[in-house]
Amino acid sequence: MIRPSTATDLARLVAEEQAGSRLPSVAAGIVRDGELVWSAARGSIDGREGGRDADEHTQYRMGSITKTFVAVAVMRLRDEGRLDLTDPLDKHLPDTTIGDVTIAQLLSHGAGVQAETDGPWWERTAGGPWRSLSSQLGRRHPAGERFHYTNVGFGVLGELVGRLHGRSWSKVIAEELLEPLGMDRTTSRPVAPHAHGLAVHPFADVVLAEPEHDGGAMAPAGQLWTTVRDLARWAAFLGGRTDGLLSAGTLAEMCRPLVVVDVPGAPWTDAHGLGVQLWNDDGRRFTGHGGSMPGFLAEVRVDVETGDGVVVLTNTTTGLSRDFGSGLLDTFAAAEPRTPPVWRVGAVPPELFELVGHWYWGPRTFELRATDDGWLRLGPANGGGRTSRFRPDGDGGWVGLDGYYAGEPLRVVRHPDGSVRHLDLASFVFTRTPYDPSADVPGGVDTAGWH
């Protein structure tokens, strides 16, 4: 648990946001090490004095956070070998007019598919069946050209999940994700106690009830309802506590930025991976998603490195401060810094000792270090530059895992007596001294030497 002073500071921020932004109610929570370590709520579920107070068990509509559940279901199908992310849609759903876009493009909002349906505002009107959606699918941009957020695309992905499983997308989510994770207060329709969706008048302290309905074929874009406690469990999932329902490698794959959200005149801080939003805050990476439906706003945001996360739910159409969730997380992290793990002696394979130490790429000094898992890490000795980890490739060499050299081969070249001569990394030669003339430096080394 957290210190009482930290809890007080966080609760004050919730109170200030509820009052200052005129939110009927707001509930929030902080996650660390896979657990909900703090939560608070303020306001009543219908916005009226004397109404039922909101708490961590109150349901709110999560809106587009629903998309992250659909995305995980798609990735599980990929891991089972039932689809490939590069598959064109019509390989699995032949009854659409966008069959040439790939599953990966739909997940990352890079398919160019229209943002909304052609009919009335789908978020405020009852949804129709799949055939009504499939008949109106169109695109606004060529596939792969740019980021274009698409609610419609996730309606399509929900149908894909349901079609391949032979049951509705919501049943797949419930049976394969919600039940195993213990998220028993996350449902496709509201279950009491739940907040009422409200719009707050911009110039008067009155509210207007927003409609609630089954979204039909568009439901995968924003249908699910949840609580702070349940959404905190999902934040833990996105932070790496997947309980075996998704591999660490697949989760990391989902959280790689694929399509940048390009806003003219603004720095690139937002991107999308495979079904998740990504934020870059001065080098700190966050994953998660925002949610918006008439009467509701929501957010789940997780620090990719630490796993710390924040969840926010409120029942208003607009008004929640853009940086409220991130502000809560920053306040928590500053007040409750993580204690570094105890350094312990590792088990480094002896054969790595001849490889570690200083290496030179031309005149620049690099360091090659062994890690406890038997891998290698190469990076500049001073200043920034290309840094990558390498794992054994099973054939006497190494392969890059990240950074510039991800997927690239690292080969140890030896003298006839077996001693290490140099390293060959994707055609770059690293030597024990700058431009070692005894190594096979591309282009040769000037015979006049250093002068």
Residue with tokens 């190594």: 439
Domain hosting residue 94, numbered range: 4-209+221-335
Contact 89, 100 (CB under 8 A): yes
In a domain, 289, yes or no: yes
Q: Do residue 290 and residue 368 come from a single domain?
A: no
Note every long-range contact of 161-169, with CB atoms under 8 Å and residues 24 or more positions apart, other chains counting: 161/70, 161/73, 161/74, 161/77, 161/220, 163/92, 163/93, 164/77, 164/82, 164/83, 164/92, 169/70, 169/73, 169/219, 169/220
What is the model's pLDDT at position 51?
85
Backbone angles phi, psi at 316, to 5 degrees: -145, 150
pLDDT digits (tens, 9 = 90+) for 222-233: 999 999 999 999
- Do residues 115 and 140 touch, judged by C-beta distance below 8 A? yes
Task: Please tell me the pTM assigned to this model.
Answer: 0.92
Confidence of residue 344 (pLDDT cuts 50, 70, 90): confident
Q: 161 and 186: one domain? A: yes
Residues 182 and 98 placed together within one structural domain of the fold: yes
pLDDT digits (tens, 9 = 90+) for 412-424: 999 999 999 999 9
Clarify whether residues 124 and 42 are in a common domain.
yes
Number of separate domains in the chain: 2
Residue 193, preceding bond cis, omega within 30 degrees? yes
Question: What is the H or E stretch that residue 232 is in?
Answer: helix 228-238
Burial of 85 (0-12, 13-18, 19+ CB in 10 A): middle
Task: Answer whether residue 293 is part of any domain.
Answer: yes
Instruction: Answer yes or no: is 107 within a domain.
Output: yes
Whether 171 is covered by a domain: the verdict is: yes
DSSP notation for 335-394 = HSPPPPPPP------GGGTTT-EEEEETTEEEEEEE-TTS-EEEEESSSS---EEEEE-S
Q: Are residues 187 and 86 in the same domain?
A: yes
DSSP state of 176: I
Task: For residue 385, name the pLDDT band (cuts at 50, 70, 90).
Answer: confident
The amino acid at residue 200 is V
Determine the distance from the C-alpha atom of residue 155 to the mean position of all C-alpha atoms in its chain, rounded to a whole number. Answer: 20
- Assess whether 171 and 307 both reside in one domain: yes
DSSP 3-state of 178: helix
Residues 352-365 pLDDT 10s: 999 999 999 999 99
